[in-house]
């Protein structure tokens, strides 16, 4: 395939070299004459293991050429890949001016091109940018999106120092867009890549790189804070973290990495606080670990505001234990939410068949009656009784709701804190916490 790559810096040069190595004819486009000179002479524009060799071979075999003539590049390629930089501005927002300039250039070139053209954006761009690029190209070319051209988001997952290896071994190749034919065509250039090709919508593809890297930064900071705690206890932090990552069922897995309500129970809050106490005793500053409970509390506040916006005073809870399948209410975020509502003079009713006041004992009973001294005033013995008395139903336990039950709620407003199945959701009277 004939491909033009706009921007031959770090991402562009690696992409260009690997595409040429896979047999494609690649035109490197850049306004920087120094980079063009390097590429024309068979040299990589960045230092990366193995890149110089594939660039040299690509130029020697005439599969790579370099120029600043964007019209020629677009006219003589089927796919244009945008790899220009998106540096941060002083306010933290990305500077997208280089992206938009390239979009204008591609649009101007498409004005005189008859064939369908695919534009792939490898640069890191915030959600909504692809739509702006489409408009710019459409305005400049007088062509129609998805009829004459298509713009797709195709984020890269390259790490400096191992970029060529990463190009061929990504976690997956992600293509975001709405034109299935264009997406299939773009996917075909990754036949040599050892990874699944995943098609998704545009915003998913635009956002993924930011979330990935934020999570990686979070992992680094988490490991560093655990490291200083281990060091203060005269422990081998490296050895400890090797033990930590051996748990691939809970620690290193997708468990807990699903948007939902706040955590609670007798373990997570207690052990997090205990770890913070160990750090404090050793005069250690651990801002990341300290921020976790604040984030958890913020999620409870978010749920309260969701209820508040519904402007109804009679609230019914389906569930109050800290999670489904237990009668444990200790540190339940739902108890905290009920307390906030009661403090603001809401009328609250609770239906939870897992919670039997006659059987609650020990620390569980102590917590429940400390937090909600007159809990018996709020508990209702049947689902029907709850529905009859409230205007808003807060779903706090997935096991307590089913399609037949939701059918009875057509005149109630539903607030979902546990992400019930999409098939159970209604359109006009439903609000999810973060979905």
Q: What is the distance in angstroms between the CA of the first residue and the CA of the last residue of the chain?
A: 40
The torsion angles phi and psi of 81, rounded to 5 degrees, stand at: -110, 120
Pairwise CA distance, residues 349 & 353, whole Å: 13
Three-state secondary-structure class, residue 293: helix
> Token pair of 378, please?
């709020």
Instruction: Tell me whether residue 303 is exposed, middle or buried, using C-beta atoms within 10 angstroms of its C-beta: 0 to 12, 13 to 18, 19 or more.
Output: buried
Cβ-count burial of 292 within 10 angstroms (0-12 exposed, 13-18 middle, 19+ buried)?
middle
CB-based burial, 402-432: b 16+ in 10 Å, e otherwise: eeebbeebeebbbbbbbbbeeebbeeebbeb
Sheet (strand 314-318) strand order: 347-351, 314-318, 392-395, 413-416, 430-432
Instruction: Label each residue of 188-232 as H, E or C.
Output: HHHCCCCCCEEEECHHHHHHHHHHHHHHHHHHHHHHHHHHHHHHH
Determine whether 267 is an active site residue.
yes
Report yes or no: 111 and 142 within 8 Å, Cβ to Cβ: yes
**Residues 315, 307 contacting (CB under 8 angstroms):** yes
∠ Cα 71 75 81 (to 5°): 80
Catalytic entry in 13, 18, 140, 267: 267
Q: Of 95, 120, 117, whose CA–CA distance to 108 is shortest? A: 117
Q: Which residues pair with 197 in a beta bridge?
A: 173
Active-site residue list: 267
């Amino acid at each position: 395939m004939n491909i033009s790559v706009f921007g031959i810096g770090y991402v562009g040069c690696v992409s260009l070299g690997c595409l040429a190595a896979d047999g494609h004819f690649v035109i490197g486009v850049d306004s920087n004459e120094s980079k063009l000179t390097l590429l024309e002479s068979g040299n990589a524009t960045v230092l990366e293991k193995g890149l110089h060799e594939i660039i040299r071979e690509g130029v020697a075999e005439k599969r790579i050429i370099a120029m600043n003539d964007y019209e020629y590049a677009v006219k003589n390629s089927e796919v244009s890949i945008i790899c220009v930089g998106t540096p941060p501005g002083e306010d933290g927002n990305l500077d997208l001016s280089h992206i938009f300039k390239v979009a204008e250039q591609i649009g101007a070139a498409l004005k005189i091109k008859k064939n369908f053209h695919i534009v792939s954006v490898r640069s890191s761009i915030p959600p909504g940018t692809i739509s702006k690029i489409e408009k710019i190209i459409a305005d400049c070319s007088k062509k129609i999106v998805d009829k004459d051209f298509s713009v797709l988001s195709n984020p890269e997952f390259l790490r400096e120092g191992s970029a060529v290896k990463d190009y061929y071994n990504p976690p997956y190749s992600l293509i975001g867009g709405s034109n299935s034919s264009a997406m299939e065509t773009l996917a075909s250039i990754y036949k040599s890549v050892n990874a699944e090709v995943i098609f998704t919508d545009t915003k998913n593809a635009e956002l993924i790189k930011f979330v990935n890297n934020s999570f990686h930064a979070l992992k680094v900071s988490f490991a560093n804070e655990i490291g200083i705690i281990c060091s203060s206890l005269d422990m081998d932090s490296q050895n400890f973290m090797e033990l930590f990552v051996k748990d691939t069922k809970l620690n290193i897995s997708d468990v807990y990495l699903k948007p939902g309500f706040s955590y609670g129970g007798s373990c997570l809050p207690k052990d997090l606080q205990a770890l913070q106490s160990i750090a404090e005793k050793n005069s250690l500053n651990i801002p990341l670990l300290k921020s976790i409970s604040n984030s958890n509390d913020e999620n409870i506040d978010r749920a309260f505001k969701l209820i508040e916006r519904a402007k109804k005073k009679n609230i019914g809870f389906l569930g109050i234990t800290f999670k489904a399948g237990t009668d444990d209410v200790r540190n339940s975020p739902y108890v905290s939410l009920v307390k906030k509502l009661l403090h603001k003079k809401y009328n609250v009713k609770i239906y939870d068949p897992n919670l039997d006041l006659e059987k609650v004992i020990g620390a569980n009973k102590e917590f429940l009656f400390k937090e909600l001294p007159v809990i018996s005033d709020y508990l209702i013995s049947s689902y029907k009784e709850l529905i009859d008395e409230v205007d808003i139903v807060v779903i706090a336990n997935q096991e307590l709701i089913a399609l037949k039950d939701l059918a009875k709620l057509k005149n109630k407003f539903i607030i979902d804190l546990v992400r019930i199945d999409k098939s159970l959701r209604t359109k006009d009277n439903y609000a999810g916490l973060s979905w």
